[in-house]
Amino acid sequence: MILGHLGYRTVCSAKEALQHSGVRHCYTGTRKNLYIDKNTKVICQGFTGKQGTFHSQQSLDYGSQLVGGVSPGKGGKTHLGLPVFNSVKEAKQGTGADASVIYVPPPFAAAAIIEAIDAEIPLVVCITEGIPQQDMVKVKHKLLRQSATRLIGPNCPGVINPGECKIGIMPGHIHKKGRIGIVSRSGTLTYEAVHQTTQVGLGQSLCVGIGGDPFNGTNFIDCLEVFLQDPKTEGIILIGEIGGNAEENAAEYLKQHNSGDNSKPVVSFIAGLTAPPGRRMGHAGAIIAGGKGGAKEKIAALQSAGVVVSMSPAQLGSTMFKEFEKRKML
Amino acid sequence: MAASMASQAVAKGLRIATSKHILLDKAKCTWLSPRRWLNLQEYQSKKLMQESGVAVQRFYVADTASEALEAAKRLNAKEIVLKAQILAGGRGKGVFDSGLKGGVHLTKDPAVVGELANKMLGFNLTTKQTPKEGVKVKTVMVAEALDITRETYFAILMDRSFNGPVMVGSPQGGMDIEEVAASTPELIFKAADQIKRLYDLFLKVDATQVEVNPLGETPEGQVVCFDAKINFDDNAEFRQKNVFAMDDMTEADPTEMAAAKWDLKYIGLDGNIACFVNGAGLAMATCDIIDLHGGKPANFLDLGGGVKEKQVYEAFKLLTADPKVEAILVNIFGGIVNCAIIANGITKACRELELKVPLVVRLEGTNVHEAKRILTESGLPILAADDLDDAAKKAVAAIKK
């Protein structure tokens, strides 16, 4: 993670960090920061705003370790019984925070992410929807060339380890500690998957909403690696949608890393089979552009990697349950 | 070789571009939902390009036949091209209800421009890409016609695999770019200059794509962008007010426009089961599952996370006003969204609008029990569903009755 106390930090040159194959040496090392737990200390950027206040209170009610927040100009004050700081750097120094959640409006959100990267916060979760794509391209440029901070989002519901830590806007009460890792581009479809896996008794180990924007900090592969290496995660649900090629890349990754006897069951749903081409379906990243990014191709790619694709979003829990039955994992 | 010369010019442009610092206005800002589907007319895109120093054919716009005639004279060009300005493509082969055939005409005589404009302006132009009744032409472009000796394709777009802008070029006519560089190297430099300006434009207007087709060479050795399609990042509307103010909404779907006014993400489809959902992924999935069970969705609608009761009411009003809607499916999984707010909005709307079609409601999540109570006690004929499968099946069955 951060080797700051030794006075040095691994710095990759752009060449090392980005090979032709697109493998990112520096940034991929931060994947482990995704796995939050009851010890994760969280600060909130945009702490005293309406969204920040509401969700911070929800977070505290859930039992997450919220330790303070950032609101420029309001440093020194108290909010929800917690200290307010003027900057992320000061907040980290004052609280020892491991993670930050950002509820900052679109015109200023990219700057808030960059501030957190500069302060070397290990995990940054940006909830904001509506950040201009150009801004996120610049954020990503910086993100990929460092190895301290992992970004989730933007335009995402956040990440939750049920019963231990909730960073984001998901309804805590539908979750149950358990065996399924969930990664999704859609917030409400994640809730469907969570609700169903809770109902069939399997529960969730870690749920990551990677968000609906075209340029974001964490993709399917980042989460799949964590899930495949986590002994507590015995099954994986992957929820995708039209636009881009993240699902196809995930399928390739699964072919290489999740085949054979020790493979974990992966169940998937891809939204947008009925979406008209050329239109943005709500999410900035959900668009079939130039004939590419359709749901049919994604489904085919995932199926060829051994993923069980459900045609109905209401059958994710039952489909995973059947897979567990087949493999005598119940 | 030529590619590296062009890319060096481009790289220089890139370095200049990324060092620009965007100063943000720290005024109070609410989380506005951006308008969807910005469409510019050809003359508006070309005006943006001109402002960024990109070479386009000299042109004027005209709203009357006499203006068109004056413009043609003012151009003082060897040949003039007259183009009807509508958003849809296929103009060249279109037909006007004045009887005039073709939405694009070439002539050397300004008087002819005036006569033709008379048969275009105020009339409907029907093309393969317009609705049957065509689109009314309110503006024409009068431009200097230029010969193209060589056509190429060039585009700049935001690409997820490359984590940012990429440039795509395609030389046409089987000519090697190296051959062009060897015989007419100055053309490569001129193209590189155009490319840099197009890239500056791409950044300046927060475009997600600038597509130039064709990027052409004239007999005189000019490099000109003959046509361009620019796609804009809706998320950047707050800082691109001038660009978005140019939005010509006359050819847009009136329901989509009305929905945008209430910050609702609505896209019209051609079925008869209206959808009312929170969350883009769930909204897409709702359309998918209706189709899976043999029905046809009438629309995509994402209410968003912070939806208020007034928006619920207005959304319901929009859906029920659509004559082709024969059933409504409400599918809400409340995270931030409080189900009780949805229930109140729906019952109010149903009472005031005298609901005439079957209504299937599936609610889950925050405050769901309170919401279900509100719906039951309303006494309205609402079909309750347990999950998304159940809801879709009930909606499809309700129409068949």
CB contact under 8 A, B305 and A169: yes
pLDDT of residue B322: 87
**∠ CA A188-A105-A85, rounded to 5°:** 110
Task: Name the DSSP class of B25.
Answer: P
Q: How many CA atoms lie within 13 A of A217 on its CB side?
A: 34
Residue to substitute from B282, B389, B393, interface A, most A β-carbons within 10 A = B282
Q: What is the strand order of the sheet A308-309 is part of?
A: A165-168, A158-161, A204-209, A177-184, A235-241, A266-271, A308-309
Residues 6+ apart with CB under 8 A from B319: B274, B276, B298, B299, B301, B325, B328
Asked whether the beta carbons of B339 and B303 are under 8 A apart, the reply is: no
| A309/B contact by beta carbon, under 8 A | no
Q: How many angstroms separate the CA atoms of B138 and B121, rounded?
A: 5
Strand-pairing partners, residue B142, are B60, B82
CB < 8 Å to A191, chain B: 333, 335, 364-365
CB contact under 8 A, A276 and B267: yes
Instruction: Name the band, by pLDDT with cuts 50, 70 and 90, for residue B35.
Output: very low
Per the model's pLDDT, the better-predicted residue between B230 and B186 turns out to be B230
Among partner residues B160, B208, B292, which is closest to A244 by beta-carbon distance?
B160
Q: What percent of chain B has pLDDT over 90?
A: 51
CB within 8 Å of chain B, chain A residues 241-260: 241-242, 244-246
Q: How many angstroms separate the CA atoms of B46 and B141, rounded?
A: 11
B97 is in an annotated binding site: no
Nearest C-alpha in B relative to A144 = B163
CB contact under 8 A, A107 and B24: yes
DSSP of A7-38: T------HHHHB-TT--BHHHHGGGGGG---T
| Cis peptide preceding B34, ω within 30 of 0 | no
Mean pLDDT for all residues in chain A: 92
Residue B379 CB neighbours (<10 A): 9
Residue A315 CB neighbours (<10 A): 19
Q: How many angstroms separate the CA atoms of B162 and B151, rounded?
A: 27
φ and ψ at B59, to 5 degrees? -150, 160
Instruction: Name the band, by pLDDT with cuts 50, 70 and 90, for residue A12.
Output: very low
Asked whether the beta carbons of B290 and A271 are under 8 A apart, the reply is: no
Residue to substitute from B231, B284, B394, interface A, most A β-carbons within 10 A = B284
Average pLDDT of span B127-155: 90
Q: How many angstroms separate the CA atoms of B96 and B91, rounded?
A: 10
CB < 8 Å to A269, chain B: 285
CB < 8 Å to A274, chain B: 269, 284, 287-288, 290-291, 297
Q: How many angstroms separate the CA atoms of B73 and A145, rounded?
A: 57
Look at the block and give the residue holding tokens 């309170």.
B370
Q: How many angstroms separate the CA atoms of B392 and B358, rounded?
A: 12
Q: How many CA atoms lie within 13 A of A319 on its CB side?
A: 19
On the question of pLDDT at A16 being above 70, the answer is no
Average pLDDT of span A105-117: 98
Mean pLDDT for all residues in chain B: 84
| A279/B contact by beta carbon, under 8 A | yes
Residue type, A239: I
Q: Cα separations (Å) of B182 from A228, B173, B176, B204?
A: 54, 17, 10, 33
* Secondary structure class of B69 (helix, strand, coil): helix
A74 is in an annotated binding site: yes
On the question of pLDDT at B26 being above 90, the answer is no
Give the residue among A103, A206, A81 at the shortest CA–CA distance from A153. Answer: A103
* Secondary structure class of B278 (helix, strand, coil): coil
Q: Write out the two tokens for B206.
A: 């927060």
Give the residue among A273, A266, A275, A278 at the shortest CA–CA distance from A304. Answer: A266
Q: How many angstroms separate the CA atoms of B294 and B296, rounded?
A: 7
Asked whether the beta carbons of B13 and B196 are under 8 A apart, the reply is: yes
* Secondary structure class of A271 (helix, strand, coil): strand
CB < 8 Å to B269, chain A: 274, 276
Q: How many angstroms separate the CA atoms of A55 and A167, rounded?
A: 9
Strand-pairing partners, residue B364, are B333
Segment B107-118, tens digit of pLDDT: 999 999 999 999
| A306/B contact by beta carbon, under 8 A | no
Segment B190-241, tens digit of pLDDT: 788 899 999 999 999 999 999 888 889 899 888 999 987 899 999 999 999 9
pLDDT of residue B177: 53
Q: What percent of chain A has pLDDT over 70?
A: 92
Segment A58-89, tens digit of pLDDT: 999 999 999 999 999 999 999 999 999 999 99
Look at the block and give the residue holding tokens 């609901």.
B355
Q: How many angstroms separate the CA atoms of A56 and A64, rounded?
A: 9
Q: What percent of chain B has pLDDT over 70?
A: 85
Instruction: Name the band, by pLDDT with cuts 50, 70 and 90, for residue B28.
Output: very low
Q: How many angstroms separate the CA atoms of B260 and B266, rounded?
A: 7
Residues 6+ apart with CB under 8 A from A54: none
Asked whether the beta carbons of A101 and A85 are under 8 A apart, the reply is: no
Q: How many angstroms separate the CA atoms of B382 and B149, rounded?
A: 66
Residue type, B375: L
Asked whether the beta carbons of A146 and A27 are under 8 A apart, the reply is: yes
Give the residue among B132, B98, B112, B27 at the shortest CA–CA distance from B68. Answer: B112
pLDDT of residue B121: 96
B25 is in an annotated binding site: no
Q: How many angstroms separate the CA atoms of B263 and B384, rounded?
A: 27
Cα-based torsion angle of the residue sequence A13, A16, A19, A24 in order, rounded to the nearest 10 degrees: -90
* Secondary structure class of B360 (helix, strand, coil): strand
Instruction: Name the band, by pLDDT with cuts 50, 70 and 90, for residue B252.
Output: confident
CB contact under 8 A, A212 and B36: no
B357 is in an annotated binding site: no
Segment A217-248, tens digit of pLDDT: 999 999 999 999 999 999 999 999 999 999 99
CB contact under 8 A, B279 and A276: no
On the question of pLDDT at B12 being above 90, the answer is no
CB contact under 8 A, A184 and B281: yes
Asked whether the beta carbons of A302 and A270 are under 8 A apart, the reply is: yes
On the question of pLDDT at B82 being above 60, the answer is yes
Per the model's pLDDT, the better-predicted residue between B322 and B28 turns out to be B322
Give the residue among A265, A270, A255 at the shortest CA–CA distance from A305. Answer: A255
Measure in Å the smallest separation between the Cα of B306 and chain A Cα atoms: 10
On the question of pLDDT at A154 being above 90, the answer is yes
Asked whether the beta carbons of A212 and A155 are under 8 A apart, the reply is: yes
Which H or E run contains B266?
strand B265-268
CB < 8 Å to A271, chain B: 281-282, 284-285, 288
pTM of the model: 0.86
* Secondary structure class of A299 (helix, strand, coil): helix
Q: How many angstroms separate the CA atoms of B399 and B401, rounded?
A: 5
- For residue A328, is it left (φ>0), alpha (ψ between -120 and 50) or beta? left
Q: How many angstroms separate the CA atoms of B271 and B84, rounded?
A: 32
pLDDT of residue A25: 59
Asked whether the beta carbons of B131 and B90 are under 8 A apart, the reply is: no
- A94 by Cβ neighbours in 10 Å (0-12 / 13-18 / 19+) ranks as middle
CB contact under 8 A, B335 and A169: yes
Per the model's pLDDT, the better-predicted residue between A290 and B394 turns out to be B394
pLDDT of residue A207: 98
Segment A180-198, tens digit of pLDDT: 999 999 999 999 999 999 9
| Cis peptide preceding A154, ω within 30 of 0 | yes
Largest Cα–Cα separation, chain A? 58
Q: Cα separations (Å) of A130 from A272, B205, B231?
A: 21, 16, 16
Which residues of B are identified as catalytic? 153, 211
Judged by average pLDDT, the poorest of B8-22, B64-78, B328-342 is: B8-22
DSSP of A104-134: --HHHHHHHHHHHHHTT-SEEEE--S---HH
CB within 8 Å of chain B, chain A residues 215-234: 215
Task: Name the DSSP class of A282.
Answer: S
